[in-house]
Structure 1
Amino acid sequence: MKITGTGIGQGVAVGSVVRMAERLPEPVDRPSHLDPKLEGERAKASMSVVAAELMSRGAKAGGAAQDVLEAQAMIAEDPSLVDEVANRLENGKTAERAVFEAFASYRDLLAGMGGYMAERAADLDDISQRVIAHLLKLPAPGVPDPGHPFVLVARDLAPADTATLDLDQVLGLVTVDGGPTSHTAILAREKSIVAIVGAADASGLADGDTVIVDAANDLVVSDPSADEVAAAKARIAERAALEAAPVTPGALADGTPVPLLANLGSADGAAEALRLGAEGVGLFRTEFLFLDADTAPSITDQQAQYTRMLSAFAGKKVVVRVLDAGADKPLSFLNDAAEENPALGLRGIRALRHSEVILREQLTALAAADAATDAELWVMAPMIATVDETRYFTALAKELGIRVAGVMVETPSAALVADHVLAACDFASIGTNDLTQYTMAADRLLGTVAKLQDPWHPAVLRLIADVGRAGAELGKPVGICGEAAADPLLAVVLVGLGATSLSMSPSALADVRASLARYSPDDAKALAGAALAAEGAAEARAAAQAVASEITTAREAAS
């Protein structure tokens, strides 16, 4: 039986199923025999213990996992949730029931929003379960330990469990719920776990079933044949050899360089990115300095963090995106006005221009860090829509000591006038996530339109081609820093469309490096042409795959 879902990465695994234990039962709704104050002390103590445990796990895991778990720890002691629990205790409920109801109310609110926000709902469920388990003096939910390597199958996996999986035991991961932007998917990608998420029919798998988890093809194969197992094991061996091979710079088959860079959210991931072959940083997100703060960080504090990142990549290019706030990342000190559609509101460069002192301080800190280190600093502005915005940012950046200033192309308007935009700055970097969102008029946070969030769509590819053509004509670099760059085949198409560098999650570097090395510049253009000529995303992918197969067949025949 073949079960479909969303594959994370390009890996494959073979093993026997071990199912995650079922959740704790819903606490009985009965009157408490304790005073509400005592019940409140019990609830608050358990919430504090769970918060501390999550912080500890985060510190142990590091990287993106630490950010996720620290955010969960804050939720565990969030004042509004504490108040919700207290209100229910005043009505005579037990601490266990009050915690369950308070977290469930917030969970339902997020689930109703769909998409990205709905995928955060599972995080609340996990925290609630951990608090209730502590109140009842029961073991917290966790990953089973059967004593042998296994494929873990779960309804969904909590960040606290995903972050600390024993990769010597867990061969692969399959979840019934979740999507490509869930924390399970994000952490699986970072840890290079072979995973399929959102595989609804996986609920029928039983302990001991043999399965193939084929992330590259979005499949779970249950009860595979001997030939299917042999083919899967051959692919596993091939990937192991690929990962063990010496790391080389990204390049096409004829040696044409295509620098492969890392997307990073802090300097914590620098060492791992370098180990995996990152030739620099194509997107350094600076939001971690500003989120959960009542005021913008000082120039001194910012400079210290930027210096840390630049020092880690001495002699290499580091592309920093100035603060990108708004939409799903609102900041009270930047823009606290309620907006009916914040994705189309005061965000990115618009918000920074509105509060220019914040932008000036960030650029000043970046210039100081650049002067103190040996990395090659490039700085870019997010959400550029007009040539005027491009000129504004470039002029201000140069005034404050930034030597290389560019823009992110994330809106169709910027792509359509890319020749004018690139004439007014030093480089462009295409953010395919937002470019796809705005091109397809499909909110990336809404699950109801998630299928339209596909960068393979020819409408998106044509805009990328426009930017690539403008870059080539003007001699200006055009990078890709969205998730599209992590797709090995799409990466080749993007190079064929004019991309001069690719930036991605470090775990994707090896697959993309190997994919590029299979194709010449003419091959890349042929794949791009086939995708551009298609009428939809699925057809574009299929057309590119067909051309890739023809190229491989012709090469094998010639040899």
Structure 2
Amino acid sequence: MSLHDPTPASGTAASGTAANGTTASATTLRGVGVSPGRAAGPVVRIAEPLNEPSSVPAPSDPHADIERIRPAAHLVADRLTIRATTVEGSARSVLETTAAMAVDPALLSQAEKLVSERSLPAERAVYEAGNEFAEMVAGAGEYLAERARDVQDVRDRIVAELLGVAAPGPPEMTRPGVLVARDLSPADTAGLDPALVLALVTEEGGPTSHTAILARSLGIPAIVAVSGVLAHPAAGVTVDGDTGTVELTDHPVHVEASSRPEEREWSGACHTADGHPITVLANIGSGTDAQVAHRAGAPGVGLFRTEFCYLAAPEEPDVAAQRAAYAEAMAPFTGKSVVVRTLDAGADKPLPFLHASSEPNPALGVRGLRVAFERPAIVDRQLEAIAAAADDTGAAVSVMAPMVATAEEASWFVERARTAGITRAGVMIEIPAAALAAHDILDAADFISIGTNDLAQYAFAADRTLGALATLNDPWQPALLRFVDTLGRAGGEHGKPVGVCGEAAADPLLAGILLGLGATSLSTSATALPAVGTALAEHSLADYRKAAQSALSAPGPDQARQHAREVLG
């Protein structure tokens, strides 16, 4: 049960009669529906992660333990790469990205260092190195925070290889069932067979997770943040991804599979059924992400998060190092649009060289562009490196600042971008105050881009990492949609673009609503691009506008989804 949900989330429902004549009881739990559809079948539980490996005994030959680490990591990467060749589209992209993470030189070097300096066994060294990297990524916030789950998955796979045990993950399935787990890694989700996996139910996770995006791409119902589902000894389960309800029974249920959308190719071009063009771009956070997005057909980048260049850096990377890192990510998009977000860090997203002081409420403290107010040379050097990388690659680069609250801040940033030689500069809208000041901000900025993830958590005062508050961070919340509507109208009046770069755009149905609310471009992870790009062509712009207004009038997110479906059919 979500802490804020006034509706009881669970309880024994009225008893019924099972097929064998005995009395069956049912318990209904609620979570956040992240992929639509209804399915039912036997519960298939996913084992908990491996136990934490011991730090004793110390290896008798540390060099031999060091020599075990990289071969184990490469075996993990090879298995993931082989799995990637058996699937297509978003699933393939996720598996390829996870394989690359398994052999990340920084991760493996840190593990080797822990063996040599602290005499840790190889498996414990990998475990601790993985934890360090996961914490670092989680501290970076937003999209990168969600990648922490990927790091933990890679850590566990390598540890399992070193221990000679089976890697954690879904069991081998020979008949249809509903997977129930604490959480699922993107790689686990990408490898699922939709012919056997009827639906996904997790106790943790949120509406913007990669698991949610992949479930939609696989066409299977999924519900996340279902508190208490693991504690229930259910035999059968019925899942309704539209309403977020999970009905658990102590007896088997008849297998029911959700109808799946027909898979279609996507060329990268996108328009509505009546020919209205809409730009669908990729969100990236590294050179590897850029390659994946390019292979997925992305015609450009709507959000390039630059924090990867700074993670674990004890000192600020110099202009040359930043230039090379940015150029690697821009290179696949020569002649195409790439929107680069400047450094989003601070007390809530600590980077060693910033030496951020402790704050009682860091999420509301000196973060994002506010760091640059105190140390403008940091953003000036970054803008210099971005401009140089754009020259190196021929990408059509724009920049935007995170955590802008006022028009004055927007003007300050745009002026510095112009001085650096970048002609197109905009801002992220993540703070409610910025949404309310949209007209004044658009007087200064060339465009705005809505970060729905942060805008939701600030609008609802709900930490987006807490499963208990997942419903408040549901991108279908009508109050959040009203912010988008306000911003879309402001952009239209000023004749300037309004993008949406939060993961709200990863939901094909919601993507149409965002378009109907005035968004001129959408950007999301590469895994969601084909589904969103093809779905937007199904209806006219007028239909999307009508559906958007209907969703705005709904009292809650579930009703908003239903209203949209009723209009769009």
State TM-score, norm by structure 2. 0.74
Provide closer, same or farther for how the CA distance between residues 273 and 183 of structure 1 changes in structure 2, counting only shifts above 3 A.
same
CA–CA separation in structure 2 for the residues paired with 1:170 and 1:197: 19
For residue 554 of structure 2, give the secondary structure of its aligned residue in structure 1: coil
Q: Which position in structure 2 is the counterpart of 1:178?
A: 204
Q: 1:360: Cα distance to partner?
A: 1.2
Q: Is the contact made by 2:348 and 2:367 (CA closer than 8 Å) also made in structure 1?
A: no
Asked whether 1:294 is paired with 2:320, we answer no
Asked whether 1:504 is paired with 2:524, we answer yes
Asked whether 1:466 is paired with 2:486, we answer yes
Q: Which position in structure 1 is the counterpart of 2:76?
A: 57
For residue 408 of structure 1, give the secondary structure of its aligned residue in structure 2: strand
Q: 1:481: Cα distance to partner?
A: 0.2
Correspondences of 1:86-101 after superposition (within 5 Å): none
Q: 1:366: Cα distance to partner?
A: 1.1
Asked whether 1:39 is paired with 2:57, we answer yes
1:350 corresponds, among 362, 365, 370, to: 370
Q: Which position in structure 1 is the counterpart of 2:271?
A: 251
Asked whether 1:380 is paired with 2:414, we answer no
CA–CA separation in structure 2 for the residues paired with 1:509 and 1:368: 29
CA–CA separation in structure 2 for the residues paired with 1:310 and 1:123: 24
CA–CA separation in structure 2 for the residues paired with 1:452 and 1:505: 22
Q: Which position in structure 1 is the counterpart of 2:167?
A: 141
Q: Unmatched 5+ residue regions in structure 2?
A: 1-25, 82-94
For residue 379 of structure 1, give the secondary structure of its aligned residue in structure 2: strand
Q: 1:254: Cα distance to partner?
A: 0.9
2:381 corresponds, among 361, 364, 368, to: 361
Q: For residue 480 of structure 2, what is the amino acid of its counterpart?
A: V
Correspondences of 1:200-239 after superposition (within 5 Å): 201=229, 204=233, 225=254, 228-229=256-257, 232=258, 235-236=259-260, 239=261
Give the share of equivalent positions with the same residue, in percent.
Answer: 38
* Greater helix content: 1
CA–CA separation in structure 2 for the residues paired with 1:345 and 1:512: 35
2:432 corresponds, among 412, 415, 423, to: 412
Q: Is the contact made by 2:66 and 2:122 (CA closer than 8 Å) also made in structure 1?
A: no
Q: Is the contact made by 2:432 and 2:459 (CA closer than 8 Å) also made in structure 1?
A: yes
For residue 538 of structure 2, give the secondary structure of its aligned residue in structure 1: coil
CA–CA separation in structure 2 for the residues paired with 1:506 and 1:546: 28
For residue 262 of structure 1, give the secondary structure of its aligned residue in structure 2: strand
Please identify, of 157-166 and 452-461, the stretch whose mean Cα deviation from structure 2 is larger: 157-166
Q: Which position in structure 2 is the counterpart of 1:325?
A: 345
Correspondences of 1:304-323 after superposition (within 5 Å): 304-323=324-343
Q: Which position in structure 2 is the counterpart of 1:92?
A: none
Provide closer, same or farther for how the CA distance between residues 187 and 321 of structure 1 changes in structure 2, counting only shifts above 3 A.
same
Q: 1:205: Cα distance to partner?
A: 6.3
Q: Which position in structure 2 is the counterpart of 1:523?
A: 543
Provide closer, same or farther for how the CA distance between residues 402 and 427 of structure 1 changes in structure 2, counting only shifts above 3 A.
same
Q: Is the contact made by 1:527 and 1:547 (CA closer than 8 Å) also made in structure 2?
A: yes
Q: 1:519: Cα distance to partner?
A: 2.4
Q: 1:269: Cα distance to partner?
A: 2.9
For residue 353 of structure 2, give the secondary structure of its aligned residue in structure 1: coil
CA–CA separation in structure 2 for the residues paired with 1:150 and 1:451: 29
CA–CA separation in structure 2 for the residues paired with 1:496 and 1:370: 33
Q: Is the contact made by 1:492 and 1:516 (CA closer than 8 Å) also made in structure 2?
A: yes
Q: Is the contact made by 1:317 and 1:375 (CA closer than 8 Å) also made in structure 2?
A: yes
Q: For residue 461 of structure 1, what is the amino acid of its counterpart?
A: L
Q: Is the contact made by 1:322 and 1:380 (CA closer than 8 Å) also made in structure 2?
A: yes
CA–CA separation in structure 2 for the residues paired with 1:224 and 1:456: 31
Measured against aligned partners, the alpha-carbon deviations of 1:446-495 in whole angstroms (never above 9, x if no partner) come to 33433211222232222222211111111110000001111222212211
Q: Which position in structure 2 is the counterpart of 1:162?
A: 188
CA–CA separation in structure 1 for the residues paired with 2:194 and 2:553: 45
Q: For residue 445 of structure 2, what is the amino acid of its counterpart?
A: C
Measured against aligned partners, the alpha-carbon deviations of 1:153-190 in whole angstroms (never above 9, x if no partner) come to 46446759638847699757746443127987379569
Q: 1:126: Cα distance to partner?
A: 9.0
Provide closer, same or farther for how the CA distance between residues 462 and 18 of structure 1 changes in structure 2, counting only shifts above 3 A.
closer
The alignment of Structure 1 onto Structure 2 pairs a total of residues equal to: 512
Q: Which position in structure 1 is the counterpart of 2:294?
A: 274
Q: Unmatched 5+ residue regions in structure 1?
A: 30-35, 87-94, 553-559
Q: For residue 483 of structure 2, what is the amino acid of its counterpart?
A: L
CA–CA separation in structure 1 for the residues paired with 2:96 and 2:534: 28
Q: Which position in structure 1 is the counterpart of 2:89?
A: none
Q: For residue 325 of structure 1, what is the amino acid of its counterpart?
A: A
Q: Is the contact made by 1:47 and 1:131 (CA closer than 8 Å) also made in structure 2?
A: no
For residue 384 of structure 1, give the secondary structure of its aligned residue in structure 2: coil
CA–CA separation in structure 2 for the residues paired with 1:313 and 1:123: 27
Q: 1:285: Cα distance to partner?
A: 0.9
Measured against aligned partners, the alpha-carbon deviations of 1:75-97 in whole angstroms (never above 9, x if no partner) come to 867969x97x98xxxxxxxx899
CA–CA separation in structure 2 for the residues paired with 1:67 and 1:247: 28
Q: Is the contact made by 1:383 and 1:410 (CA closer than 8 Å) also made in structure 2?
A: yes
For residue 452 of structure 1, give the secondary structure of its aligned residue in structure 2: coil
Q: For residue 58 of structure 2, what is the amino acid of its counterpart?
A: G
2:534 corresponds, among 507, 514, 519, to: 514
CA–CA separation in structure 2 for the residues paired with 1:281 and 1:97: 38
1:434 corresponds, among 443, 454, 462, to: 454
CA–CA separation in structure 1 for the residues paired with 2:439 and 2:349: 30
CA–CA separation in structure 2 for the residues paired with 1:309 and 1:129: 27
CA–CA separation in structure 2 for the residues paired with 1:171 and 1:353: 50
Q: Is the contact made by 2:323 and 2:389 (CA closer than 8 Å) also made in structure 1?
A: yes
Q: 1:288: Cα distance to partner?
A: 0.7
CA–CA separation in structure 1 for the residues paired with 2:170 and 2:457: 39
Q: 1:386: Cα distance to partner?
A: 1.0
Please identify, of 488-497 and 140-149, the stretch whose mean Cα deviation from structure 2 is larger: 140-149
CA–CA separation in structure 2 for the residues paired with 1:193 and 1:437: 28
For residue 529 of structure 1, give the secondary structure of its aligned residue in structure 2: helix
Provide closer, same or farther for how the CA distance between residues 225 and 415 of structure 1 changes in structure 2, counting only shifts above 3 A.
same
Q: Is the contact made by 1:162 and 1:188 (CA closer than 8 Å) also made in structure 2?
A: no
CA–CA separation in structure 1 for the residues paired with 2:30 and 2:468: 19
CA–CA separation in structure 1 for the residues paired with 2:426 and 2:278: 19
Q: Is the contact made by 1:189 and 1:507 (CA closer than 8 Å) also made in structure 2?
A: no
Please identify, of 362-371 and 532-541, the stretch whose mean Cα deviation from structure 2 is larger: 532-541
Q: 1:98: Cα distance to partner?
A: 9.8
Q: 1:218: Cα distance to partner?
A: 5.3
State TM-score, norm by structure 1. 0.75
CA–CA separation in structure 2 for the residues paired with 1:454 and 1:160: 20
Q: Which position in structure 2 is the counterpart of 1:482?
A: 502
For residue 39 of structure 1, give the secondary structure of its aligned residue in structure 2: coil
Provide closer, same or farther for how the CA distance between residues 160 and 187 of structure 1 changes in structure 2, counting only shifts above 3 A.
same
Q: 1:349: Cα distance to partner?
A: 0.4
Question: How much is the aligned-residue C-alpha RMSD, in angstroms?
Answer: 4.7
